[in-house]
């Protein structure tokens, strides 16, 4: 990769981080920072799911497994092992990588709906394990006693502002890494597999290896989403590993736009806004969400950002065509 490209991307990421860090002064109060923290958790999770769906053509119905795994692994490491936050962060990613390798090795050999339902089956297995293993996980009550947040490198995550900045940093860093992942030769091989796996095999590529690596990377970042949420709520609950989390992830991807990298981020913002606003007005959130999803399925199949992106691209092409016609 050219040094200038990396520097440009780093500068962009630093710029976004700088803007995020001053926003709490523009929007004071906990409501805004809490929203951004929750959005960070879901955006990292949904973007990781989009690596599978949008770039790999692997529609996982069980990606919430890694969200729950991340939340429980991190919380338990902090509670029971008393590790530092950076160490627990790293170990959580390693645990997720290990679990994703095991589950992925089985799932990625299946195609389409079979892959989808096998991932769902593994998620429900983990959810059942969390419910059943009460001495460790707290069962259906979730972990009790809170997640310790000892300071590290001068960062105190029990301070809401520090937690906000930390979550913003993890969000930007995760998106940065995943963006470079999809822009790498590996990312394009993944797109080729999404389009035509058989043809990829006839290019001399072992398709399952690429799929497995994508599954592992997606699993790692899916767990980072859960980790952020466990930091925010200072606990972990079985719902984090329930199938509805996977469903919400899929909705975020669809609402934002499958074919656009930042689509899931937009989807996370929209879904959380919708949730916060609608639940304040009516108890029938599910009904409203259903109508919204229906609208997207019928009229905005490319998602919000996907539709805008296509409109911009078509307009630019039309402009280029007109310019060429003048010569």
Partner 1 sequence: MLRIENLRKSFGGVSAMNGVSLNFAEGSLTAIIGPNGAGKTTFFNLVTGAFKPDAGTILLGDEDIAGLSPPEVVRRGMARAFQIASIYPTLTVRESIFGAVNAHRGWHARLGRRFPLAEAKAQADEVMELVKLDSRADTVSGYLSHGDQKLLDIALALALEPRVLLLDEPTAGMGPEERWQMIETVHALWERKHMTLIFIEHDMDIVFRYAQTIRVLSYGTVLAEGTPDEVRQHPKVIEAYLGSHFEHTDSR
Interacting residue ranges for partner 1, rule: CB under 8 A? 1-2, 5, 180-181, 183-189, 191-192, 194-196, 198-207, 209-210, 213
The least CB distance from residue 218 to partner 1, in Å, is 14
CB of 185 to partner 1, least distance (A): 4
> What sections of the chain are H helices per DSSP?
3-26, 30-50, 64-76, 85-107, 112-132, 134-137, 160-183, 185-195, 197-201, 207-233, 243-256, 263-281, 285-299, 304-326
In the complex with partner 1, the residue whose CB is nearer, 238 or 257, is: 257
30 versus 209: smaller Cβ distance to partner 1? 209
Nearer to partner 1, 196 or 279 (CB): 196
Backbone angles phi, psi at 152, to 5 degrees: -145, 140
Partners of 155 in the beta sheet? 152
> What is d(CA 31, CA 243) in angstroms, rounded to the nearest whole number?
27
Question: What secondary structure does DSSP assign to 208-254, as a single string?
Answer: HHHHHHHHHHHHHHHHHHHHHHHHHHTS--GGGGSHHHHHHHHHHHH
Residue in this structure with the two tokens 């949730």, named with its chain if needed:
275
Closer Cβ to partner 1, 21 or 183, answer by number: 183
Task: Give the whole-angstrom CA distance, residue 216 versus residue 103.
Answer: 9
Would you say the C-alpha torsion 96, 102, 107, 109 has a positive or negative sign? positive
Rounded Cα distance between 146 and 165, Å, is: 21
**CA diameter of the chain:** 76
| Nearest distance in Å: CB 225, partner 1 | 21
In the complex with partner 1, the residue whose CB is nearer, 170 or 200, is 200
Measured from the CB of residue 259, what is the shortest distance to partner 1 in angstroms?
8
Q: Smallest gap, in angstroms, from Cβ of residue 62 to partner 1? A: 25
* Beta carbon nearer to partner 1, 5 or 134: 5
Nearer Cβ to partner 1 (25/202): 202
Q: How far apart are CA 305 and CA 255, in angstroms?
A: 8
Q: How far is the CB of 162 from partner 1 (least distance, A)?
A: 31
Give the shortest CB-154-to-partner 1 separation in angstroms: 31
């Amino acid at each position: 990769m050219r040094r200038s490209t990396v520097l440009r991307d780093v500068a962009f990421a630093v710029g976004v981080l700088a803007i995020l860090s001053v926003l709490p002064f523009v929007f004071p109060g906990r409501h805004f920072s809490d929203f951004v923290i929750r959005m960070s958790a879901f955006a990292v999770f949904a973007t990781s799911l989009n690596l599978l769906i949008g770039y790999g053509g692997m529609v996982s119905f069980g990606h919430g497994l890694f969200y729950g795994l991340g939340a429980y692994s991190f919380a338990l490491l902090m509670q029971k092992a008393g590790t530092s936050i950076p160490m627990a962060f790293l170990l959580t990613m390693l645990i997720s990588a290990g679990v994703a390798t095991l589950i992925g090795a089985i799932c990625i050999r299946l195609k389409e709906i079979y892959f989808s339902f096998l991932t769902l089956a593994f998620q429900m297995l983990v959810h059942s394990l969390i419910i059943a293993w009460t001495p460790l996980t707290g069962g259906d009550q979730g972990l009790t006693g809170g997640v310790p947040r000892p300071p590290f490198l001068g960062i105190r995550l029990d301070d809401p502002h520090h937690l906000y900045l930390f979550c913003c940093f993890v969000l930007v860093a995760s998106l940065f890494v995943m963006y470079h992942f999809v822009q790498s030769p590996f990312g394009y091989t993944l797109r080729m597999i999404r389009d035509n796996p058989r043809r990829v095999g006839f290019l001399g590529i072992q398709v399952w290896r690429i799929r497995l690596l994508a599954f592992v990377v997606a699993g790692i970042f899916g767990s980072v989403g859960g980790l952020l949420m466990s930091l925010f709520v200072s606990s972990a609950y079985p719902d984090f590993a329930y199938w509805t989390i996977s469903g919400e992830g899929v909705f975020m991807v669809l609402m934002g736009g499958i074919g656009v990298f930042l689509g899931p981020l937009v989807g996370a913002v929209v879904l959380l806004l919708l949730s916060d606003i609608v639940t304040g007005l009516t108890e029938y959130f599910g009904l409203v969400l259903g109508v919204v999803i229906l609208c997207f399925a019928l009229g905005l199949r490319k998602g919000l950002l996907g539709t805008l992106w296509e409109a911009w691209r078509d307009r630019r092409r039309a402009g280029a065509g007109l310019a060429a016609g003048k010569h």
